[in-house]
Amino acid sequence: MNKERCVDVLDHFIRHEELLAVAVVDQNQSPVGILDRRKISEIFLKPFARDLLRNKRVIEIMDSNPITVDINASIDDVAQIIIDAGMQHMVNGFIIVDKGIYVGMATGHALLEEITHRRQRDLYTLAHYDHLTGLPNRLLFNDRLEQACHNALRNHTMLGLVFVDLDRFKYINDTLGHSFGDRLLIIVAERLSSCVRQSDTVARLGGDEFVIILQNIENEADAEIVLSNVIDKLRQPMPIFEREIQITASLGMAFFPQHDQAIDGLIRKADAAMYEAKERGRNTYLLYTAEMDHDKVERMSMETQLRMALDSGELSLSYQPQILLSEQRVVGVEVLLRWQHPHFGAVSPATFIPIAEETGLIIPIGEWVLKEACRQHLSWIEQGLPAFRMAVNISGVQFKQRDFCEQVKRIIDESGVDPQYLELELTESVVMTHAEFAVQALIDLRALGVKLALDDFGTGYSSLSYLRKFPLNRIKIDQSFIRHIKSTPANEAIVRAIIALGDSLGLEIIAEGVETGDELECITSHHCHEVQGYHFAKPLTPDDLSGWHRQFIQTSR
């Protein structure tokens, strides 16, 4: 610091008595000292000492070891500094730095007051804002929704509440990692915020659940423009960690006060609309209708009753025969789960299986199915029937359980069944979703001695390289390719190719859904090994299958 500038600083300091201290910084803006008024007064303000200015350098009259406080220091840190410094800095001041760079000065009183205010602001932020995205959290969302509804009533305007749920986010999070998922949520938050006005609110309720409050809406058409824009924005590629990903979202909207004047009811109805959007294929938005609420109540009721169905004996198994064509012999049965509800009657598996998978009920239900299939297999042998192969469908939720292989082994050991007669059927999409995991899991299962089949083959996205790695015994051709095969050349070509692929890999092929003589004739002409379907028998109860088998033997001789 040159002499002229030092004099200017000192003169300024002397004239402005409200300044208790002044910082001295170097050319890099780092503090190197502090001048306090007490020392300056002693040296320069006394008349006989004015001429000492020429004999004293600034470095001689300043504290060259200033007390610096980081801008992010806590109250406890500052309090300890004040105590250690002998309390004088409560008046004279601290130099405040940010990463070592001078940013200002403050007295102890002012610093403690500022830190207290900052802590209060931090606590408010922690309580009301999502720490990842910076969006309002559930608490602040509830408060803003309540205020927005009051304003809508007072101003006779309409309000739209939108629930946004990302499609298949859990899969992205599990496969690409939580850091990737967090970055994705941040980008989603930014894009949602860019789609609305400043007066609107975008909040994150948790996970991949977001909500939007649209205020002062003229009509439903205006709201739908916003929803359409959100769908388009989220669908655009997102650059994350040197790769691009595309996602979709399902949106549901309810209007205040048209759909509900109670906040809880409005939230429930927007959520019902979002859930319906997911049910209809995702990547879309829906406005609430009364039918959605009814469907959701019914579904919740169905979930509750499904939880009790296993204990109350409402679940049962049916068995569809599988025929070896070369010998016209029953070699196995597919085990099919049925639910006979005391009031609803027969509930379709297409209705209750997705509910069981979503709620995790498929785990205990699946275990019961395996145990019951093994018990029935041994019961038939005792009755004098052949040892049928028991083909049991395994849900993807079951298959992904860490202890699934141990569970299968325990059931085999406890039941005493010969494992070669137990076949586990997994869909193509399940094993390909986590292919590397599936390879090892299937190897572990095969080591138990059980058979493995790939169900619904041709409808998914099997990689030939993985198909060669999977220790499979059998491929099941999906019934969609069998139906009307004689009149659909494309289906016949696909079936022929699947059979050829299976033969080249040494796999047995079974066609499901064979219902007519023409379909059977076509399948047989292409040398398919086994078939099942209504042409031979529908799914049968254990007693009915025993009678059917005796009759089948007589007619096939």
- What is the model's pLDDT at position 359? 84
Between 86-100, 198-212, 378-392, 469-483, the lowest mean confidence (pLDDT) is in 86-100
Using N-to-C axis directions, what is the helix angle for 138-155 and 108-128, rounded to 10°?
80
Tokens of 323: 């025929």
Arithmetic mean of pLDDT, 101-105:
81
Q: Which residue has the higher pLDDT, 437 or 368?
A: 368
- pLDDT exceeding 90 applies to what percent of the chain? 48
Q: Minimum mean pLDDT among 38-52, 95-109, 480-494: which range?
A: 38-52
For residue 546, what pLDDT is reported?
Answer: 92
290 — pLDDT class (breaks 50, 70, 90): confident
What local confidence, expressed as pLDDT, does residue 185 receive? 95
* pLDDT band at residue 93 under the 50/70/90 scheme: low
Secondary-structure class of domain 3-128 per CATH: alpha beta
Average pLDDT on 323-347 reads 92
Residue 333 vs residues 6, 56, 188, 512: alpha-carbon distances, Å: 98, 104, 48, 12
Domain regions of the chain by residue span: 3-128, 138-288, 320-336+350-556
Q: Label residue 457 exposed, middle or buried (CB < 10 Å: 0-12, 13-18, 19+).
A: buried
Regarding predicted confidence, which is higher, 194 or 292?
A: 194
pLDDT computed for residue 58 by the predictor: 65
What per-residue confidence (pLDDT) applies to 105? 74
Higher pLDDT, 77 or 430: 430
Average pLDDT over residues 197-226: 92
Q: Are 316 and 336 in contact (CB under 8 A)?
A: no
DSSP string, 471-482: --SEEEE-HHHH
Half-sphere exposure of 83 (CA within 13 A, CB side): 6
Rounded to whole angstroms, what are the CA distances from 344 to 299, 359, 539? Answer: 13, 21, 20
Options 3.40.50.10490, 3.30.70.270, 3.40.50.620, 3.20.20.140; CATH for 138-288 is 3.30.70.270
Predicted pLDDT at 51 = 43
pLDDT at residue 83, as a whole number: 63
**Mean pLDDT score across all residues of the chain:** 85
- In which element (H, E) is residue 56 found? none
Q: What is the pLDDT of residue 92?
A: 53
pLDDT at 419: 97
313-338 in b/e form (b: 16+ CB < 10 A) is: ebbebbbbbbbebeeeebbbbbbbbb
- Mean pLDDT for 420-448 is 88
Lowest mean pLDDT among 101-105, 112-116, 466-470: 112-116
**pLDDT at position 50, please?**
44
What pLDDT does 176 receive?
Answer: 82
Q: How confident is the model at residue 146 (pLDDT cuts 50, 70, 90)?
A: very high
C-alpha to C-alpha distance for 462 and 173, rounded to whole angstroms: 22
Does residue 88 carry a pLDDT above 60? Answer: no
Residues 260 and 252: beta-carbon distance below 8 Å: no
Calculate mean pLDDT across residues 187-194: 96
Among 96-105, 176-185, 472-481, the least confident range = 96-105
Kind of pairing between the strands at 451-457 and 422-427: parallel
Let me know the angle formed at the C-alpha of 481 by 479 and 485, rounded to the nearest 5 degrees. 110
Check residue 131 and give its pLDDT.
87
* Three-state SS sequence of 94-149: EEEEECCEEEEEECHHHHHHHHHHHHHHHHHHHHHECCCCCCECHHHHHHHHHHHH
416 vs 468 pLDDT, higher one: 416
- Note the helical H segments in 450-556: 464-469, 479-482, 489-504, 517-525, 542-556
Quick one: CA torsion of 5, 6, 7, 11, rounded to 10 degrees?
Answer: 100
DSSP 8-class letter at 348:
P
Mean pLDDT, range 21-29, rounded to an integer: 81
Q: pTM score, two decimals?
A: 0.55
Q: What is the pLDDT of residue 86?
A: 59
Supply the pLDDT for residue 57: 65
Q: What is the pLDDT of residue 118?
A: 63
pLDDT tens digits, one per residue of 26-57: 888 888 777 776 666 555 544 444 444 455 66
Q: What is the pLDDT of residues 57-82, one digit of tens each?
A: 666 677 777 777 887 776 566 666 66
Rounded mean pLDDT of 198-218? Answer: 93
Provide mean pLDDT across the span 180-192: 94
Whether 3-128 shares its CATH topology with 138-288 is answered: no
Percentages helix, strand, coil for the chain (3-state, rounded to 5) are 50, 25, 25
Domain 320-336+350-556, CATH class in plain words: alpha beta
Mean pLDDT confidence for 371-397: 95
